[in-house]
């Protein structure tokens, strides 16, 4: 079970409070977690990754275990603590703008 | 008793302002989609409970929202709360924010670049929806004007969108360039007398017309003069800010260009300047009285580098002669120290017997006049910067 923490605006879009928990088939990677997230909350499609290119949107960042994972490969395995559910996978809107 | 519903898009959310036909006491609902930029929201002429909204964010991109109950509740089309989030065959829904340019070899492929500020060519890149124009007859059909400039249409209530690529592909696309606000398609006018005729306008490309429901297009900019481009009389490159028409006379168009207020009496085939005695002919918004096709409203703005009213006096100007002769409307509007702007989509009229006129400012005020502009009063004073104002006249 993967725990995902969404930024406030995306929690509002998905109509959820607090953490989201996901069952991910196969290896837990950025891609597989985001695929599972979007399958469960399709209203989030296009808000984290571009609809067509599947690239991370420029002002969205991924963190876990006090590490910035934003530039990791999409298919790289996530840290064990995220896979075990002891640490959440954070999706964060960059601090910018007004 | 009839009433009005004013739909306000701001930098930080949407607001719905309602009143009865007297338009004296107002109920304010919002912010909806708090914290998001709401470039535009508009109701369907065929079903006043059907509203569409463009919700955007520099972080999370474009969202399309829809209400089927006059703005009380909203959902992203295709994924209503409580409904299954996948289709029966297991495919996820949620395509309502998917705006993908036509890249087919037949129409899209040769047209994938436009001018950038530095004169170089740059690929089309979707950024946001500036304007949503619901069909006059079908609540499920709605047009979207987007940045980078293109026209999309949905025929399933906003669930999916398809580009009408004949516009971007008619030939002048590679000569289009962004204005200061981006290369946006901001005006969509549907001709109530001819289902095939659509007018659109783009900053900074100009005005265009289709006579076959959006399949083919051509520029309609003859008579426009823009000193800020290499050929002031060029076929495209004009920074048109807004076009308005009266539904009883759809072949007559009024335009607020970057500089100049213009009029066409032949469906855009040619334009004549009607700036007349305006204190400045720069501005963004323009609209037409609901019952008097020759009564036109503009809000003059000092200049392209000083986006506020001249002399710090917020004045709406009204022409009752279809242009050239303008009178200042000031009663109830601030006449000193006012340095707000009124953006291109931030003026609208209702269709009650005594025509109501409404506009919003970048200072967060929404002003209303229930007597065609003779007197004004603020409905609200302290909203976030207003991006758009639309009005629904309710039975």
- The parent domain of residue B189 ranges over 3-394
User: Which CATH number do you get for residue B96?
Assistant: 2.130.10.10
Q: How many other CB atoms sit within 10 Å of the CB of residue B303? A: 11
Mean residue pLDDT across chain B = 94
CA A80 from chain center: how many Å? 16
Exposed / middle / buried, residue A80 (Cβ in 10 Å: 0-12, 13-18, 19+):
exposed
Reference B365, options B333, B329, B321, B320; nearest CA is B333
pLDDT of residue A95: 80
CB B246, CB B293: distance < 8 Å: yes
User: Among partner residues B58, B81, B94, which is closest to A15 by beta-carbon distance?
Assistant: B81
- Token reading at B99: 């705006």
pLDDT at B108: 66
Q: CB B12: neighbour CB atoms within 10 A?
A: 18
Which residue among B92, B95, B98 places its CB closest to the CB of A39?
Answer: B92
Domain count, chain B: 1
pLDDT tens, residue by residue, B36-83: 999 999 999 999 999 999 999 999 999 999 999 999 999 888 765 556
Closest CA to B299 of B368, B359, B377: B359
- Predicted local distance difference test score (pLDDT) of residue B88: 62
- Neighboring chain B residues of A38 at a CB cutoff of 8 Å: 92, 94
The region of weakest confidence among A62-71, B38-47, B78-87, B343-352 is B78-87
Please tell me the predicted confidence (pLDDT) of residue B149. 96
Closest by alpha carbon to B93, among A48, A41, A24? Answer: A41
Contact B94 A43 (CB under 8 A): yes
Q: What is the mean pLDDT of residues B139-167?
A: 96
Residue B151, pLDDT > 80, answer yes
Task: Give the Cβ contact number of residue A77 at 10 Å.
Answer: 14
pLDDT: is B377 or B110 the higher one? B377
Whole-number Å distance between alpha carbons of B139 and B130 = 19
Cα distance from A80 to chain B (closest Cα, Å)?
28
CA-angle at A15, arms to A12 and A16, nearest 5°? 95
| pLDDT tens per residue, range A24-49 | 989 999 999 999 999 888 889 999 99
Question: Do A11 and A4 meet the contact criterion of CB atoms below 8 Å apart?
Answer: no
Residue A11 dihedral angles phi and psi, to the nearest 5°: -60, -40
The answer to whether residue B332 scores a pLDDT higher than 90 is yes
C-alpha pair distances (Å), B365 with each of B26, B131, B332: 14, 21, 13
Tens digit of each residue's pLDDT (9 = 90 or more) over B213-270: 999 999 999 999 998 888 999 999 999 999 999 999 999 999 999 999 999 999 999 9
Domains in chain A and their CATH numbers?
2-93 (3.10.20.30)
- Name the region of B224 (left: φ>0; alpha: ψ -120 to 50; beta: rest): beta
**Coil, strand, or helix at residue B206?**
strand
Rounded to the nearest angstrom, the minimum Cα separation between B29 and chain A is 18
């Amino acid at each position: 079970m993967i725990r995902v923490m969404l930024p406030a605006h995306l929690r509002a879009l998905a109509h959820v409070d607090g953490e989201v928990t996901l069952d991910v088939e196969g290896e837990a990677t950025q891609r597989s977690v985001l695929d599972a997230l979007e399958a469960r909350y399709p209203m989030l499609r296009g808000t984290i990754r571009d609809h067509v290119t599947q690239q991370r949107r420029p002002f969205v960042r991924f963190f876990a275990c006090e590490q910035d994972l934003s530039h990791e490969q999409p298919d790289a395995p996530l840290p064990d603590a995220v896979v075990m559910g002891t640490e959440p996978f954070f999706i964060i809107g960059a601090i910018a703008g007004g | 008793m009839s009433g009005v519903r004013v739909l306000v898009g701001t930098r930080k959310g949407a607001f719905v302002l309602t009143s009865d036909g007297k338009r004296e006491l107002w109920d304010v609902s919002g912010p909806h989609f708090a914290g998001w930029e709401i470039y535009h929201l508009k109701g369907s002429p065929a079903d006043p409970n059907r509203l569409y909204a463009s919700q955007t964010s520099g972080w999370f991109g474009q969202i399309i929202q829809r209400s089927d109950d006059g703005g009380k509740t909203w959902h992203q089309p295709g994924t209503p709360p409580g409904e299954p989030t996948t289709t029966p065959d297991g495919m996820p829904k949620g395509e309502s924010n998917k705006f993908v340019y036509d890249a087919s070899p037949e129409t899209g492929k040769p047209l994938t670049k436009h001018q950038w500020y530095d004169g170089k060519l740059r690929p089309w890149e979707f950024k946001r929806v500036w304007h949503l124009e619901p069909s006059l007859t079908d609540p499920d059909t709605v047009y979207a004007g987007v940045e980078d400039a293109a026209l999309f249409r949905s025929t399933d209530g906003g669930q999916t969108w398809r580009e009408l690529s004949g516009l971007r592909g008619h030939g002048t696309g590679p000569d289009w360039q962004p204005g200061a606000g981006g290369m946006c398609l901001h005006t969509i006018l549907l001709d109530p007398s001819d289902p095939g005729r659509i007018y659109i306008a783009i900053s900074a490309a100009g005005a265009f017309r289709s006579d076959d429901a959006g399949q083919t297009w051509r520029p309609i900019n003859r008579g426009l003069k823009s000193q800020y481009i290499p050929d002031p009389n060029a076929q495209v490159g004009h920074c048109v800010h807004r076009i308005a028409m009266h539904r009883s006379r759809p072949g007559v168009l009024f335009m607020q260009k970057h500089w100049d207020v213009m009029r066409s009496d032949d469906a855009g085939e040619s334009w004549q300047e009607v700036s007349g005695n305006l204190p400045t002919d720069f501005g963004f918004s323009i609209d037409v009285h609901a019952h008097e096709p020759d009564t036109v409203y503009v809000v003059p703005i000092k200049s392209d580098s000083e986006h506020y009213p001249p002399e710090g006096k917020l004045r709406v100007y009204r022409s009752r002669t279809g242009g050239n002769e303008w009178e200042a409307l000031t009663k109830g509007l601030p006449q000193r120290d006012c340095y707000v702007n009124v953006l291109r989509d931030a003026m609208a009229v209702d269709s009650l017997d005594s025509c109501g006129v409404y506009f919003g400012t970048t200072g967060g005020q929404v002003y209303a006049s229930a007597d065609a502009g003779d007197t004004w009063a603020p409905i609200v004073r302290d909203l976030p910067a207003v991006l758009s104002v639309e009005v629904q006249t309710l039975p």
